[in-house]
Amino acid sequence: MNKNQEIALIFERISNMLSVLDENPFKIRAYKKAALNISELGEDIVERAEQDGLTSIPGVGKDLAAKVKEYIDTGKITEYEKLSKTVPLELIELLRIQGLGPKTLSLLFKELKVRSLSDLEKVLDGDEILEFRGLAEKKIKDIKKGISIFKESKERTLLGVALPISELIINAIENIPGTEGTVVAGSLRRFRETVRDIDILTMSDNTEETVKEFTQMPFVKDVLASGSTKGSVIAGDSLNAGIQVDLRVVGPESYGAALQYFSGSKAHNVRVRSLATKKGLKINEYGVYKGDKKVAGETEHEVYESLGLPFIPPELREDRGEIEAALENTLPDLIELSDIKGDLHTHTTWSDGKATIKEMAESAKKLGYSYIAITDHSPSSVIANGLSLKRLALKKKELEEADKKIKGIKILMGTEVDIKPDGTLDYPDKVLKELDVVIASVHSGFKMDIETMTERILSAVRNPYVHAIGHPTGRLINERDPYEVDIDRLIEAALEHGKALEVNGSYPRLDLKDLHVRKAVEAGVKIIISTDAHRTEQLLQMKLGVGTARRGWVEKDSVLNTLETKELLEWLSMYR
């Protein structure tokens, strides 16, 4: 973490601590706002402080500027230290529990002495709570549901959070002399949507020394184990809880076998092992053996080959039919990141994005894309600054100018239009008809029964001008359960009306999820894989979307944004 992020995090925590104390709402908001602006500041805050420019950061007045200065000078903020003594960190973490707001938590803290998750659980199960003011039984049930998601989130880290951390760690390990072929294994390599830890494998002749160096790296907060071939640490810093990282170091002769073994999944490996047994072979993390003779081990390819199997891509290794398909030689030819020709779901400063149309298009062009659709929100998404008809027209003008100016990439005028609770869309048909790309999504009114919600989304599928349904189940991994929707009926309707379903690659979403995508493409439904990027860097989330699609056995042909510009435009215009 750099200083900007550290200070932003502390301000965020102060804000949360104040809200649990039920302090002045202006003060609570001031800290929150400053935290956001500092985290989004495009320059080093230390430099800004040196130039006496702290108060020019929006939301940072004299008082907060002094606190920033204090942190830069002393590494501490007295107010934060003071608050921490009254309000434990563990308590404000509970604000992440869906269904439990600051007001309720404040009451529980002040009147029922709740200071931790276990306190909260005890109180919710006790009798006192039933007489506690303002907490209806329904509310208690909601909080309990929120707690179960919260607990899961503490155990498993989002793919999109773990992946960039693993890349930094891999780079660091590659810098240890004598290491080679450092890669992720485990669930992260399989692109599971959440991971319990980061498994890393490297090759070296000097295994013990490599493990030792690994456990002494600067990101290491705690060492859990350190042996001759395996090290286990918590990566993090003083402000963050951290994530477990396991490193295994093997010699080159066992690299492939170890990679196969530690990539898992366990269920896949069980099947692989029994297949080996049937062939009179033995397989472990060192190699494949016939009696005492080693027949494979250096590469994963040769490990699978020795069992009479083609290479099975890691994303498929979940014992979901991949062994059978491999034996019959019918494994899918999975889509690859390089097949993607453009992004069809992005936001800009016109709604709630942080970059302009021009900036998004330039970044997309750098990724080698042929097109990008700019799909800002519609008016009902008030918080997201959705576009009125008037602003939509202004945006169109700016977009057309940008499209003329920037050569080598086609900028498509789109919208992510709200599907309103009654199933109607947030723009009239005659407006939708004029747009190049229409993605329809649910952004509000999540609490509906499955029948009503399914009908609501199906009316969008039936609208002649809609191209795709965005993040079709509305989940936020570790945070919010999907709304209730009959996915089979959605797939059926999408097929009937020739509409696409989205695999949204934004890291908290990954929606459709792997099993649902697989169902969709098996039924013959086309998908789009998009990032929902709200800033230029988020265009890189395409990797997560493609990973999720690969877990859903998706081939290139099922994905519309693998089409060349001309073919894509033809498909899009079928709905005009």
- Residues in contact with ligand DGT by the rule CB under 6 A: 186-187, 192, 195-197, 199, 261-262, 264-266, 269-270
Q: Is 440 exposed, middle or buried (0-12, 13-18, 19+ CB in 10 A)?
A: buried
Query: Which amino acid, one-letter code, is at 7?
Result: I
Q: How far is CA 324 from the centre of its chain?
A: 31
E strand or H helix at 519, and its extent? helix 514-523
* CB-nearer residue toward Zn ion: 254 or 441: 441
When asked if residue 380 is in the footprint of Zn ion (CB under 5 A), the reply is no
Can you tell me the distance from the alpha carbon of 223 to that of 221, in angstroms, rounded to the nearest whole number?
Answer: 7
Nearer to ligand DGT, 162 or 220 (CB): 162
CA dist list (Å): 519 to 166, 244, 329: 30, 33, 21
- Which of ligand DGT, Zn ion, Ca ion, none sits in contact with 224, Cβ below 5 to 8 A by type? none
Minimal distance in Å, beta carbon 465 to Zn ion? 18
Q: Which is nearer to Zn ion, 260 or 441 (CB)?
A: 441
Are 424 and 385 a contacting pair, CB within 8 Å? no
Report what 266 binds from Ca ion, ligand DGT, Zn ion, none; CB cut-off 5-8 Å by kind.
Answer: ligand DGT
SS3 559: strand
Judged by CB under 5 A, the residue of 441, 463, 478, 548 near Zn ion is 441
- Closest by CA position to 385, among listed 351, 356, 426: 351
The tokens describing 516, both together, are 């649902």
Smallest gap from Cβ 161 to ligand DGT, in A, equals 13
Q: How far is the CB of 188 from ligand DGT (least distance, A)?
A: 7
* 542 and 529 Cβ atoms separated by less than 8 Å: yes
For Zn ion, give the closer residue by CB, 256 or 472: 472
Rg (CA), the chain: 26
CB-based burial of residue 2 (10 Å sphere; 0-12 exposed, 13-18 middle, 19+ buried)?
exposed
The entry of Zn ion, ligand DGT, Ca ion, none that residue 441 binds, CB within 5 to 8 Å by partner kind:
Zn ion
123 token code pair: 């109180």
CA 101/CA 142 separation, integer angstroms? 11
In the complex, minimum distance from the CB of residue 551 to Ca ion, in angstroms, rounded to a whole number = 16
Tokens of 481: 């359960």
Give Cα separations from 402 to 373, 416, 433, 434, 550 (angstroms): 12, 20, 21, 18, 34
By CB under 5 A, residue 186 contacts Ca ion:
yes
Nearest residue to ligand DGT by CB is 264
Distance CA 138, CA 470 (A): 30
Segment contacting Ca ion by CB under 5 A, of 66-74, 175-183, 194-202, 423-431: 194-202
Q: With binding defined as CB under 5 A, does residue 102 bind Ca ion?
A: no
Interacting stretch for Zn ion, rule CB under 5 A, among 47-55, 241-249, 407-415, 433-441? 433-441
CA–CA gap between residue 311 and residue 314 (Å, rounded): 9
Which residues are registered as beta bridge partners of 371? 342, 410
Q: Tell the smallest beta-carbon distance from residue 411 to Zn ion (Å).
A: 20
In the complex, least distance from residue 470 CB atom to Zn ion, rounded to whole angstroms: 5
Whether the bond into 265 is cis, omega within 30 of 0: yes
Give the shortest CB-264-to-Ca ion separation in angstroms.
Answer: 7
Q: Are 268 and 250 in contact (CB under 8 A)?
A: no
Nearer to Zn ion, 243 or 425 (CB): 425
Nearer to ligand DGT among residue 319 and residue 434 (C-beta) = 319
As measured in angstroms, the least distance from the Cβ of 318 to ligand DGT is: 9
Residue 573 phi, psi dihedral angles, 5° rounding = -80, -10
Least Å distance between CB 475 and Zn ion?
A: 12
Q: Which listed option, Ca ion, Zn ion, ligand DGT, none, makes contact with residue 463 (CB within 5 to 8 Å by class)?
A: none
Q: Of 118 and 274, which has the nearer Cβ to ligand DGT?
A: 274
Q: Does 199 bind Ca ion (CB under 5 A)?
A: yes
Residue 262 partner contact from Zn ion, Ca ion, ligand DGT, none using kind-dependent CB cut-offs of 5 to 8 Å: ligand DGT
Task: Between 182 and 187, name the residue whose CB sits nearer to Ca ion.
Answer: 187
Task: Return the residue of 6, 197, 376, 514 that touches Ca ion, per CB under 5 A.
Answer: 197
We find the least distance from the C-beta atom of residue 191 to Ca ion, in angstroms, to be 12
User: Is 19 one of the binding residues for Zn ion (CB under 5 A)?
Assistant: no
Q: Which of Ca ion, ligand DGT, Zn ion, none is residue 366 near (CB under 5 to 8 Å by kind)?
A: none
Q: Are 198 and 159 in contact (CB under 8 A)?
A: no
Stretch that binds Zn ion, among 132-140, 185-193, 270-278, 439-447 (CB under 5 A): 439-447
- Cβ proximity to Zn ion: between 35 and 510 the closer is 510
In DSSP notation, 46-88 reads HHHHHTT-GGGSTT--HHHHHHHHHHHHHS--HHHHHHHHHS-
Residue corresponding to tokens 């919208």: 415
Pick one of Ca ion, Zn ion, ligand DGT, none as the site partner of residue 472 (Cβ within 5 to 8 A by kind): none
Residue ranges that bind Ca ion, judged by CB under 5 A: 186-187, 197, 199
Residue ranges that bind Zn ion, judged by CB under 5 A: 441
